[in-house]
Structure 1
Amino acid sequence: MKPATRLFLIGAPVLVADAVIFGSGGDSGVLADNPPARPERSGAPDPLSSGDPDDREELARRIDAMPPGLAAPGKKELAAQLVASAENSTLDWRRQYAAIEDLGDGNGYTAGVIGFCSGTNDMLQLVESYTEKHPDNPLAPFLPALRKVDGTDSHEGLDPGFREAWAKAAESADFRSAQDSTRDRLYFDPAVRLAKMDGLGTLGQFVYYDAMVLHGPGLDARGFYGIREAAMKKEKTAAEGGDEKAYLNAFMDASRAVMKTKLIAEQRDSSRIDTAQRVFLRDGNMALEPPLTWQVYGETFRIDQS
């Protein structure tokens, strides 16, 4: 796995708001019993939980009536491939379900299809929700340890055996499906719906999704919502009457600036923006239509059709 995972803890209230306002699905209410405290906030607004309830309901209806964009099956597959190229240097994202390692980035173990981390709460949410439905799964005995190490890079109670248990669990189609569902609930669905709220097309929806995966959905200055706030101070969103390309450039600038502050040298590589997302934007490919050619970490990738 490439060391390009989240540095900050997931803000559970944001996820709850998304579930309530936008109806994320049947598992949307399954959160960790004791999620870690959110990092210091930057003052970034939470657009998913503010405003009049009737206005929010109307907004949700408008979003539901929009074209699927990145949520269309072919585009969603393409998004998974693009993220995998940056996270794992491959387009074959389905081979990552069983992957698990400590990247030395302070997040503990990083594992699975989207890089769930033992230190950032999303791995705990995944294993808790999966264990509710499959109590005898190989990871169930490690739940007390996962709760204890959540928010740290510790392996206490996980070693020995956790890596082997993860790989064993990943042999199950149910666990692979659980990884997909948790990825969508925590990252994909909120990012796409918020991008639509901001008037962004398919490319912009992907830019939001990739940033949500990379930075985590935190309200702090270096989380997704803080980055969005910084971009909105520079340019209006398309929904506010701004130029979509100008706003996306501002968002990429803000995301890139956060990447350059990361403590691990390898995590400061911003090619997923510089030689991928900006290439698509410069080419005016707002619908993210193949063929697509881009570079990440100096390696060239190509998708000919979605």
Structure 2
Amino acid sequence: MRIRRRTIALGAGITVVLSVPLAISVAASANNDVLISRGRSAIASSVRGSTWVAGQVTDSDPATRWASTDGPGTQWVRVDLGGMQTIDRVRLRWDKAYAKTYRVQTSVDGANWKDVYATRSGDGGTDDLKRLGGSGRFVRVLAIQRGRSGGGYSLAEVKAYGPESAALRAVTPVSGSLAAGLDDGRKKETAFELVASAENSTLSWREQYAYIEDIGDGRGYTAGIVGFCSGTSDMLDVVNEYTRRKPANVLAKYLPALRTVDGSDSHAGLDPGFTTAWKTAAQDPIFQKVQEDERDWMYFDPSVRMARADGVRALGQFAYFDAAVMHGISGLRGIRAQALRTAKSPSDGGDEISYLTAFLDARADEMRTEEAHRDTTRVDTAQRLFLQRSNLDLAGPLSWRVYGDSYQIAAG
């Protein structure tokens, strides 16, 4: 007899795993056993080609299937039920490329998800999951770890069942490139807004070119769109590059002093005029472009490359970038190394949610080593919150808190 294991959360971090024989699962009542997903639109995180598009999981044709691109890591297929529905049962028919670890989730908005079923012991075939007690406009199968050593994931059908009734209410779904990483322009903008909420207490990062102050963290002056510091070389790099592009500028005369104070919290040679000069330079479009280019070259591009190599989606890419902004690329590497002692990366066959949990734990530990950064809410009430909602693609709408302030980014 085949056994299905169902994980049930009991609260306070406690879970139990129930092994339930399919043959004795309690069937949904007749009133709750109406197929509500037939013919509904579906999208997926990736497709292997035009023969394996997402819509084939709802077309009622047993000969068709969705297939993701090959490789380890997380993939998903999402069905839009057209409006709010009660979802009591989901029937999955896997192809040979099945998921060993996967979650069935529901969502009101298509961005923030709630588990109705989770397993780490999937074995392919048909999974008939009953008495789920879910609700939402969207149903998603989040495939996390492959059951086979090669290929990707493939489902022939995703059938959702519920009571026979009209949709309770319409919901505007998320739009845009849902499965894109931070190479997508809108997702990149979201990442910059998230960083600005923590660095500058605003989403308007383009208004921060002129920002400069000593926040008492031992790094001297902190300034600009991602907090370039006089004590950590990146401010020196910014002024060097500005002077290369525009030799006659108001900051050039401070280069000798910036070289002297690099590696310390000293203001020697910078006071009293440096902060005024920085604010003046910030009105110059050339200096603004230098700040953006240096941010990308020093922090964004290398951290996103590292994250993509580790197989994490947009949320993980942002988590790497934010760590690089605060701790530098070398600090990011240390945090990553600590996480890898606890969990495998997705590219190495690991569970993405478990790996990102380990990464955020390591990040918070690193923050606590510095008195000025012991407040870990930029991790705990932002990044960890998105992870708890399984928003691995960093899709809007987003809502979070940082250092006591609340922020929102609408679906876009």
TM range (shorter): 0.7 to 0.9
Instruction: Decide which of 303, 307, 312 is 1:195's aligned counterpart.
Output: 307
Show the counterpart of 2:380: 274
Show the counterpart of 2:265: 153
Over residues 36-88 of structure 1, what are the superposed CA-to-partner deviations in whole Å (9 max), with x where a residue is unaligned?
A: xxxxxxxxxxxxxxxxxxxxxxxxxxxxxxx8611211011111110111111
Worse-matched range after superposition: 233-242 or 87-96: 87-96
- Scaled by the length of structure 2, what TM-score is found? 0.56
1:160 and 1:77 mapped to 2: Cα distance? 35
Q: 2:411 aligned with 1:301, yes or no?
A: no
1:272 and 1:109 mapped to 2: Cα distance? 21
How does 1:69-80 map onto structure 2 within 5 Å?
69-80=181-192
Shift of 1:258: 1.1
Q: Which amino acid aligns with 1:136?
A: A
Secondary structure at 1:300's aligned position in 2?
strand
Show the counterpart of 1:133: 245
Shift of 1:272: 1.0
How does 1:1-306 map onto structure 2 within 5 Å?
69-218=181-330, 223-264=331-372, 267-306=373-412
Q: Which amino acid aligns with 1:286?
A: L
1:189 and 1:119 mapped to 2: Cα distance? 22
1:139 and 1:156 mapped to 2: Cα distance? 15
Secondary structure at 2:232's aligned position in 1?
coil
Q: Decide which structure has greater helix share.
A: 1
Q: Which amino acid aligns with 2:383?
A: Q
Over residues 256-292 of structure 1, what are the superposed CA-to-partner deviations in whole Å (9 max), with x where a residue is unaligned?
A: 011112123xx21111111111111111111100000
Over residues 88-127 of structure 1, what are the superposed CA-to-partner deviations in whole Å (9 max), with x where a residue is unaligned?
A: 1111111110011111111111100110000000000111
Tell me how many residue pairs correspond in the alignment.
234
1:242 and 1:163 mapped to 2: Cα distance? 47
Shift of 1:185: 0.3
1:211 and 1:172 mapped to 2: Cα distance? 29
Q: 1:138 to 1:276 in 2, by over 3 A?
A: same
In the alignment, structure 1 segments of 5+ residues that lack a partner are: 1-66
Q: 1:271 to 1:153 in 2, by over 3 A?
A: same
Flag the structure with larger Rg. Answer: 2
2:270 and 2:371 mapped to 1: Cα distance? 25
Worse-matched range after superposition: 177-186 or 276-285: 276-285
Q: Is the 8 A contact 2:180 2:187 kept in 1?
A: no
Secondary structure at 2:182's aligned position in 1?
helix
Q: Is the 8 A contact 2:180 2:393 kept in 1?
A: no
- Scaled by the length of structure 1, what TM-score is found? 0.75
Shift of 1:235: 0.3
2:301 and 2:254 mapped to 1: Cα distance? 28
Show the counterpart of 1:45: none
Q: Decide which structure has greater strand share.
A: 2
Shift of 1:217: 1.4
1:250 and 1:298 mapped to 2: Cα distance? 24
Q: 1:75 to 1:168 in 2, by over 3 A?
A: same
Q: Which amino acid aligns with 2:371?
A: L
2:236 and 2:200 mapped to 1: Cα distance? 22
Q: CA RMSD in A?
A: 1.1
Over residues 134-155 of structure 1, what are the superposed CA-to-partner deviations in whole Å (9 max), with x where a residue is unaligned?
A: 1001100100111111111111
Shift of 1:305: 2.8
